Amino acid sequence: MAKQKKQKSMEETLWDSANKLRGTVEPSEYKHVALSLIFLKFASDKFEGRRRELIEEQKGQFTEMVPFYSMKNVFYLPEESRWSYIMENAKQDDIALKIDTALHLVEKNNPSLKGALPDNYFSRLNMDVSKLAALLDTINNIDTLKDKEQDIVGRVYEYFLKKFAIAEGKGKGEFYTPKSIVNLIAEMIEPFKGIIYDPACGSGGMFVQSVKFIESHQGNKKELSIYGQEYTATTYKLAKMNLAIRGISANLGAVPADTFARDQHPDLKADYIMANPPFNQKDWRADNELTDDPRWRGYEVPPASNANYAWVLNMVSK
């Protein structure tokens, strides 16, 4: 008897669909395409759920008022940002522009998402409309609210970040630290409450696992204050989206910035520091730069040829 073919998981199906963008989008780009669309679907599902709730509570007159969503930690979405609108227009030639508009309006109406979403991104990529429509169809089949315990969207994000890191190879996947390593760090330092800091936070995995650690031990995640910094603009956006879909509040600095040249948290004093910085970073400063930085006070100035010691002193200073 023929061996029954194993049914693909939701994550694998989504990955296959995103992979079809190859040829029309650079591999380093399509993680941002896939993850921002998954974020939009999740935000829209949450919005529609809250909207129905207001109608059922005889509060239909408040369905277009932002405070009635933010009070429940739900993002308000104008009509042109809602997933139903995107799907109605999925096969239109200007769908990329419509997605850009949708993401812009979501960020504009929700201050906590400032700097989190791609800006004028889709229309610049000149994607094949049929392949983009196919990806939208696949994402449309995800019921992001079906099982809160399984953290469906978080699971998809974790899977995609891991796959993209593997696909991009050594040196390109610096936005992602393997879950097993992050779990080990969280179990070792036990960040139940206080201030946690990651000077090279990538896509925010350290923070996600810290919150999961707290929840698995029946703690209160509101007792943990999260601070981080990320240099790469696209990865900074990934981190903000990754945390937003899980309802995690964090201060990642006003803008993406170099931790050494533009420390976003100069006066921070942390209780816990978790980090997997880019090791053996060469030429991280010019010979005459940062020689009198207060973070090195009492120690030798870190050599410009290798940033490892600088990362250590940056953490010690916090």
pLDDT of residue 1: 46
10-167 has which CATH code?
1.20.1260.30
Superfamily (CATH H level) for 179-316:
Vaccinia Virus protein VP39 (3.40.50.150)
Instruction: Write out the H or E segment, with its range, that includes residue 224.
Output: strand 224-228
3-state helix, strand, coil in the chain (%, to 5): 50, 5, 45
For residue 27, what are the contacts with CB-CB under 8 A and spacing of at least 6? 167, 168
- Judged on CB neighbours under 10 Å (0-12, 13-18, 19+), 58 is exposed
pLDDT at position 131 over 50: yes
Q: Which pLDDT tens digit goes with each residue over 69-110? A: 999 989 999 999 999 999 999 999 999 999 999 999 999 999
Q: Where exactly are the structural domains of the chain?
A: 10-167, 179-316
The pLDDT of residue 12 is 83
**Span 235-275, pLDDT tens digits:** 899 899 989 888 899 999 999 999 999 999 999 999 999 99
Q: What is the pLDDT of residue 169?
A: 65
Structure tokens at 199: 């000077």
CA-wise closest residue to 175 among 55, 72, 276: 276
Question: Among all chains, which residue has been given the structure tokens 């698995």?
Answer: 216
Beta bridge partners of 196: 226, 272
**Strand 194-198 and strand 272-273: pairing?**
parallel
CA-nearest of 129, 98, 105, 121 to 43 is 105
